[in-house]
Protein backbone atom coordinates (compact mmCIF):
# COMPACT_ATOMS: atom_id res chain seq x y z
CA UNK A 1 0.00 0.00 0.00
CA UNK A 2 2.83 2.37 0.80
CA UNK A 3 4.41 1.69 -2.58
CA UNK A 4 1.11 2.25 -4.41
CA UNK A 5 0.32 5.53 -2.65
CA UNK A 6 3.87 6.83 -2.99
CA UNK A 7 3.61 6.12 -6.72
CA UNK A 8 0.33 8.03 -6.89
CA UNK A 9 2.19 11.26 -6.20
CA UNK A 10 1.23 12.18 -2.65
CA UNK A 11 3.66 14.49 -0.85
CA UNK A 12 3.73 12.40 2.32
CA UNK A 13 2.01 9.45 3.95
CA UNK A 14 0.16 9.26 7.27
CA UNK A 15 0.70 5.94 9.07
CA UNK A 16 -1.89 5.39 11.76
CA UNK A 17 -0.54 3.61 14.81
CA UNK A 18 -3.43 4.75 16.98
CA UNK A 19 -6.57 3.40 15.32
CA UNK A 20 -5.06 0.52 13.35
CA UNK A 21 -3.35 -2.73 14.38
CA UNK A 22 -0.04 -1.60 12.85
CA UNK A 23 3.05 -2.37 14.89
CA UNK A 24 6.40 -0.58 14.44
CA UNK A 25 7.55 -3.56 12.35
CA UNK A 26 4.52 -3.25 10.07
CA UNK A 27 5.12 0.50 9.75
CA UNK A 28 8.71 -0.16 8.77
CA UNK A 29 7.46 -2.43 5.98
CA UNK A 30 5.17 0.30 4.66
CA UNK A 31 8.03 2.80 4.75
CA UNK A 32 10.31 0.39 2.90
CA UNK A 33 7.65 -0.02 0.23
CA UNK A 34 7.16 3.74 -0.03
CA UNK A 35 10.92 4.33 -0.36
CA UNK A 36 13.29 6.66 1.45
CA UNK A 37 12.27 9.64 -0.68
CA UNK A 38 8.66 9.50 0.59
CA UNK A 39 8.28 11.13 4.03
CA UNK A 40 6.10 9.04 6.33
CA UNK A 41 4.70 10.51 9.53
CA UNK A 42 3.52 8.10 12.19
CA UNK A 43 0.55 8.83 14.39
CA UNK A 44 1.46 7.19 17.65
CA UNK A 45 -0.86 5.13 19.84
CA UNK A 46 -0.08 7.60 22.65
CA UNK A 47 2.36 10.33 23.54
CA UNK A 48 4.75 7.98 25.32
CA UNK A 49 8.53 7.83 25.29
CA UNK A 50 8.94 4.28 23.99
CA UNK A 51 6.35 4.73 21.24
CA UNK A 52 8.11 7.88 20.04
CA UNK A 53 11.52 6.21 20.05
CA UNK A 54 10.34 3.15 18.12
CA UNK A 55 8.52 5.16 15.43
CA UNK A 56 11.57 7.32 14.78
CA UNK A 57 14.02 4.43 14.89
CA UNK A 58 12.19 2.53 12.13
CA UNK A 59 12.52 5.57 9.89
CA UNK A 60 9.57 7.90 10.36
CA UNK A 61 10.17 11.42 9.08
CA UNK A 62 8.17 12.64 12.03
CA UNK A 63 5.54 11.84 14.61
CA UNK A 64 1.95 12.92 15.10
CA UNK A 65 1.01 12.69 18.75
CA UNK A 66 -2.64 12.30 19.77
CA UNK A 67 -4.37 14.02 22.67
CA UNK A 68 -1.75 16.62 23.52
CA UNK A 69 -3.86 18.81 25.78
CA UNK A 70 -1.34 20.92 27.71
CA UNK A 71 1.94 22.70 27.27
CA UNK A 72 3.54 20.26 29.68
CA UNK A 73 2.51 17.31 27.52
CA UNK A 74 3.88 19.03 24.42
CA UNK A 75 7.17 19.67 26.22
CA UNK A 76 7.46 15.98 27.13
CA UNK A 77 6.81 14.91 23.55
CA UNK A 78 9.49 17.22 22.16
CA UNK A 79 12.02 16.10 24.77
CA UNK A 80 11.45 12.41 23.98
CA UNK A 81 11.77 13.06 20.22
CA UNK A 82 15.08 14.93 20.39
CA UNK A 83 18.57 13.65 21.09
CA UNK A 84 20.66 15.28 23.85
CA UNK A 85 21.29 18.05 24.61
CA UNK A 86 17.86 19.19 23.32
CA UNK A 87 16.09 16.12 24.64
CA UNK A 88 16.43 12.62 26.01
CA UNK A 89 15.78 10.39 23.00
CA UNK A 90 17.49 7.04 23.39
CA UNK A 91 20.19 6.00 20.94
CA UNK A 92 19.61 2.95 18.76
CA UNK A 93 20.82 1.43 15.50
CA UNK A 94 17.57 0.92 13.60
CA UNK A 95 16.52 1.50 10.01
CA UNK A 96 16.64 5.29 10.43
CA UNK A 97 20.39 5.07 11.09
CA UNK A 98 21.02 2.64 8.24
CA UNK A 99 21.39 -0.06 10.89
CA UNK A 100 24.47 1.79 12.09
CA UNK A 101 26.10 2.61 8.76
CA UNK A 102 24.87 6.23 8.66
CA UNK A 103 24.63 6.66 12.41
CA UNK A 104 26.62 9.89 12.72
CA UNK A 105 24.93 11.61 9.78
CA UNK A 106 21.51 10.72 11.13
CA UNK A 107 22.20 11.79 14.71
CA UNK A 108 23.74 15.05 13.54
CA UNK A 109 20.62 16.00 11.55
CA UNK A 110 17.73 14.27 13.34
CA UNK A 111 16.92 17.02 15.83
CA UNK A 112 16.54 19.54 13.03
CA UNK A 113 14.86 17.36 10.44
CA UNK A 114 12.47 15.20 12.49
CA UNK A 115 8.97 16.69 12.55
CA UNK A 116 7.02 16.84 15.80
CA UNK A 117 3.31 17.41 15.24
CA UNK A 118 0.82 17.48 18.10
CA UNK A 119 -2.89 16.89 17.76
CA UNK A 120 -5.45 19.36 19.05
CA UNK A 121 -8.41 17.03 19.37
CA UNK A 122 -9.86 17.76 22.79
CA UNK A 123 -11.50 20.84 24.22
CA UNK A 124 -8.68 21.02 26.79
CA UNK A 125 -6.19 21.40 23.95
CA UNK A 126 -8.27 24.26 22.59
CA UNK A 127 -8.24 25.92 25.99
CA UNK A 128 -4.45 25.51 26.26
CA UNK A 129 -3.50 26.09 22.64
CA UNK A 130 -1.41 29.21 23.35
CA UNK A 131 0.81 27.29 25.79
CA UNK A 132 1.10 24.32 23.43
CA UNK A 133 2.29 26.26 20.38
CA UNK A 134 4.86 28.19 22.39
CA UNK A 135 6.84 25.04 23.23
CA UNK A 136 10.08 25.08 21.21
CA UNK A 137 10.23 22.06 18.92
CA UNK A 138 6.51 21.83 18.18
CA UNK A 139 6.55 21.93 14.39
CA UNK A 140 2.83 21.80 13.71
CA UNK A 141 -0.66 21.25 15.07
CA UNK A 142 -3.03 18.73 13.51
CA UNK A 143 -6.67 19.34 14.35
CA UNK A 144 -8.73 16.23 15.06
CA UNK A 145 -12.31 17.36 14.46
CA UNK A 146 -14.03 14.07 15.32
CA UNK A 147 -12.41 13.53 18.71
CA UNK A 148 -12.78 17.23 19.41
CA UNK A 149 -16.51 17.05 18.77
CA UNK A 150 -16.75 14.00 21.05
CA UNK A 151 -14.95 15.82 23.87
CA UNK A 152 -17.58 18.56 23.60
CA UNK A 153 -20.51 16.15 23.84
CA UNK A 154 -21.22 16.59 20.12
CA UNK A 155 -19.73 13.37 18.75
CA UNK A 156 -19.50 13.36 14.97
CA UNK A 157 -21.05 16.83 14.64
CA UNK A 158 -17.95 18.43 13.20
CA UNK A 159 -19.96 21.19 11.51
CA UNK A 160 -21.73 22.19 14.73
CA UNK A 161 -21.19 25.92 15.45
CA UNK A 162 -19.52 25.21 18.80
CA UNK A 163 -17.08 22.73 17.25
CA UNK A 164 -16.32 25.12 14.42
CA UNK A 165 -15.76 27.90 16.94
CA UNK A 166 -13.24 25.72 18.79
CA UNK A 167 -11.44 24.87 15.53
CA UNK A 168 -11.46 28.57 14.68
CA UNK A 169 -9.70 29.39 17.94
CA UNK A 170 -6.94 26.85 17.22
CA UNK A 171 -6.64 28.19 13.68
CA UNK A 172 -6.33 31.79 14.80
CA UNK A 173 -3.70 31.12 17.46
CA UNK A 174 -1.58 28.93 15.19
CA UNK A 175 -1.67 31.39 12.32
CA UNK A 176 -0.73 34.24 14.66
CA UNK A 177 2.23 32.22 15.96
CA UNK A 178 3.24 30.98 12.49
CA UNK A 179 2.74 27.36 13.52
CA UNK A 180 1.76 25.12 10.56
CA UNK A 181 -1.75 23.70 10.73
CA UNK A 182 -3.09 20.36 9.60
CA UNK A 183 -6.40 18.54 9.55
CA UNK A 184 -7.87 15.21 8.53
CA UNK A 185 -10.73 14.78 6.08
CA UNK A 186 -12.19 11.70 4.42
CA UNK A 187 -12.57 13.50 1.09
CA UNK A 188 -10.86 16.29 -0.80
CA UNK A 189 -14.08 18.28 -0.53
CA UNK A 190 -13.91 18.07 3.26
CA UNK A 191 -10.43 19.57 3.51
CA UNK A 192 -10.68 22.24 0.80
CA UNK A 193 -12.15 24.89 3.16
CA UNK A 194 -9.22 24.40 5.52
CA UNK A 195 -6.67 24.75 2.74
CA UNK A 196 -8.31 28.08 1.96
CA UNK A 197 -7.85 29.07 5.62
CA UNK A 198 -4.12 28.43 5.52
CA UNK A 199 -3.83 24.76 6.53
CA UNK A 200 -0.85 23.08 4.87
CA UNK A 201 -0.52 19.65 6.54
CA UNK A 202 -3.44 17.92 4.86
CA UNK A 203 -4.50 14.32 5.56
CA UNK A 204 -7.00 13.35 2.88
CA UNK A 205 -8.62 9.95 2.58
CA UNK A 206 -8.07 6.52 4.10
CA UNK A 207 -6.66 3.61 2.12
CA UNK A 208 -9.36 1.19 3.27
CA UNK A 209 -12.16 3.62 2.40
CA UNK A 210 -10.64 4.30 -1.02
CA UNK A 211 -10.38 0.60 -1.78
CA UNK A 212 -13.85 -0.15 -0.46
CA UNK A 213 -15.49 2.71 -2.35
CA UNK A 214 -13.98 1.70 -5.70
CA UNK A 215 -14.83 -1.96 -5.11
CA UNK A 216 -18.48 -1.12 -4.38
CA UNK A 217 -18.60 1.17 -7.41
CA UNK A 218 -17.29 -1.58 -9.69
CA UNK A 219 -19.66 -4.15 -8.18
CA UNK A 220 -22.65 -1.88 -8.67
CA UNK A 221 -21.71 -1.39 -12.34
CA UNK A 222 -21.43 -5.15 -12.75
CA UNK A 223 -24.84 -5.70 -11.19
CA UNK A 224 -26.38 -3.18 -13.57
CA UNK A 225 -24.67 -4.78 -16.58
CA UNK A 226 -25.84 -8.24 -15.48
CA UNK A 227 -29.37 -6.96 -15.00
CA UNK A 228 -29.37 -5.38 -18.47
CA UNK A 229 -28.49 -8.74 -19.98
CA UNK A 230 -31.73 -10.12 -18.58
The four Cα atoms 181, 187, 188, 192 give a dihedral, to 10 degrees, of -50
Q: Which residues are catalytic?
A: 19
What letter does residue 98 receive in the DSSP assignment?
A: G
Which residues, other chains included, contact 58 with Cβ-Cβ below 8 Å and sequence gap of 6+? 24, 25, 27, 28, 31, 94, 95, 96
Residue 154 CA, chain-centre distance (Å), reads 23
CB-neighbour burial class of residue 174 (10 A; exposed 0-12, middle 13-18, buried 19+): buried
CB-neighbour burial class of residue 136 (10 A; exposed 0-12, middle 13-18, buried 19+): exposed
- The helix/strand/coil state of 53 is helix
What letter does residue 69 receive in the DSSP assignment?
A: -
Amino acid sequence: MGEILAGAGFAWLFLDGEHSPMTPAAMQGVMQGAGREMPCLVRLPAGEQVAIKKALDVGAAGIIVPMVNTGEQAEDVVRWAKYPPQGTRGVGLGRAMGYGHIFKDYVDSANKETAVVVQAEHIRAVENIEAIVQIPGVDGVLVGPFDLSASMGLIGQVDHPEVQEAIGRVTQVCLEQNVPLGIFGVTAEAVKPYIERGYTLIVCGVDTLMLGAKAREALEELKIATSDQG
